[in-house]
Structure 1
Amino acid sequence: MSTNQKAFATGVFVGRVWNPAVAGPSVVVVRDGNVIDITSKTVPTMRDLLEREDAAAYAASAEGPVLADLEGLLARGVGTPEANSVHLLAPNDLQAVKACGVTFARSMIERVIEERAAGNPDAAQKIREKVSAVIGESLRDLKAGSPAALKVKEALIEEGVWSQYLEVGIGPDAEVFSKAQVLSSVGHAADVGLHPISKWNNPEPEIVLAVNSRGVVQGAALGNDVNLRDVEGRSALLLGKAKDNNASCSIGPFIRLFDATYTIDDVRNAELTLRVEGEDGFVLDGRSSMKEISRDPLDLVGQTIGRHHQYPDGFMLFMGTLFAPTEDRDAPGQGFTHKIGDIVTIANDRLGALTNRVRLSTECAPWTFGASHLMRNLAARQLL
């Protein structure tokens, strides 16, 4: 039994598919091996479903036509789909797409290395050895913002290895940034894009929380926060250029809504696997354990939404990753970087598997269906 088949055996999974019959997206639920259209005037968008206090119960019982067989939909080959075929979209629509960075000690060290290497992969290994010798295991199990974290901060400043990445990693304030524009995320089996200027990059396997306008976490999905290590490493002010490009954000395959079978504690204890398979025969296996995150998921939500910042349509929140690839792919000491054609699969036994193919952002299908197109489409379908 595949990861997706095991995951979807229980729980309430909702998402979005492109429905050629209406030339637009439909909100769907997975039930009995089928993908069922539950779009209605009550729930014209995923945003509207997540605003309901009874989101899981509503989706579990909502009626509608079957749009596709689940197994067949998930088995579709990667790449740009035909416009006249039913295919998965990112499960989010009107939500802002936010992300928290530097939330795991191991990946935090890699951000420090990127910064000190100024985006040069050739310098990374020597810097990694030096920084690791100074920091050692001092960051493991350290709670961000705690008195113990403050002492470690003071010690690192004395050692001359303080960094802006350590500040957001163990300081009181989390890094929260905008990952992608509304409706620009891609879904399962789509291409993901690398900006052509990048020569040092990697996938980032993460859990993505689905949060409504009241700050209530309604569920979770898998995500790939495609990362350009050299671009951000040159300057933190290039974060937007490193993170927000055409097809650089993948979420899916569905959102699993919280209910009696799946809660925030399942997110806290989640184990993610990552596999990269290259056309050159290269295979990379990685993992990310939410048990090692330095900030609680609900703390990250609270630092994103509140009286200081509102999200009327809710938001999707990437929570960071433990995964930091250091295995050499080509030249010794240069670590891992993507090659065009890589197939990336991120999986979790409770959320399924999210698979994408790597291409350049300039060669991925352009993003053309924005909020205005969605509103016009829904109005034409008499759903608004």
Structure 2
Amino acid sequence: MQSIRGMHDILPKDTKYWQHVYNIAMDILSQASYQEIRTPIIEDTSLFLRGIGTDTDIVSKEMYSFEDRGRRNLTLRPEGTAPVARSLIQHKLYNEQPIQKLWYMGPMFRYERPQHGRQRQFHQLGLECYGSNSPVLDAEVIYLANQIIDSLECSKYTIEINSIGSSDTRQDYEKALRRYLSTYQLDLDGESQKRLIASPLTILDSKDPQTQEILLNAPIISDFLDREALIHFEKMQDYLSSMNIPFTINNHLVRGLDYYNSTVFEIKTNLLGTQDTICGGGRYDSLTQQLGGPAIPALGWGIGIERLLLLVQDKLDLPQNSELIYLALQGYEAEKKGLSLIPIFRNYDLRYEVDLSGSSFQKQVKRAHKKNALMCVIIGEEEASLQTLTVKWLKEYRQETCSRQQFIETLKLYKKEEVIR
């Protein structure tokens, strides 16, 4: 049996890096008063049809949808924003406090062609803030994404920002863009030709070199923004600068989901080939209304964990677990005495492993060496009858026999010295 194409196991040797990302995010976001939320991985399909948009690639090509035994149309979540919005509305979280700051980390699912940095099951760290249309929030949210990525020792990245205005602005801009691109229709790549009528904005995100060359002289959306949107965008830039966050304005930057408006941004790197976006986000002030709830301004982003770890995993020097105490036991009485030590290890926050092989002490000690253990505690019939322990200090190449109480005192001393170190 093999894992499904595009869906990978996270093996024990790698989980410490995933946990490190989670811990960094929790530390930074908790400090900024964000609370973690966990939504189901399966939602009603209509949530994504209404929230993301039927003309988007996600809905038209990539969703894992099915009918369950109750004849309900369900979908494995392809992104995290719509589920959080659904939860906000369902539980009326906006009544508890007007500003809701939420974050999550979990798996998402899209039927895409698997490649380096892109899988069919991928994991996303996401942030959603509801209740404010202030450009202060836009700047703070981008700052938090920057802080997390920077704290994970990722250095080679850029922050690109843009404003795509209101829905009316985008409609006017789409007409102008469609008119311009129609004169080059046959020169566009095949995918962009298909998008020209239904979603011309998404052509701006094309990776095709010839299409990108055509777009160089295309109209830009900033020329269509109203005064309110321009002021919002300018203030956000001032706030970013006040926090020493470097950024560039990318007039062609759009996001591939219909719910975005006003501010959009991406954090990119040139180290991952075509899969260059580490983080993407923006405003979606009408999403809750689209889903049947009250109109609540909102802003958020998502960071792809797999891509982020491709950039930083080799650089991360994670703290080692406390050194291992290895228990080598032989015989029923010895096993009882060995197991009675486990609560003590727990009290002193010491890592341990019990050898379950039943093999000779020589082989058990060899295993302890292979695991780079600090010590191997040997209890056999003789030790059990004499109420003693044999302790082999593997890194110091010395051995001692002691009573249980003496051993506990030794652990206390070791733990104290470890704390000092």
Is TM more than 0.5 here? no
Q: Which has the higher strand share?
A: 1
Higher normalized contact order (CA 8 Å, seq sep 6+, divided by chain length): 1
State the TM bucket, normalised to the shorter chain.
under 0.3
Structure ID, larger Rg: 2
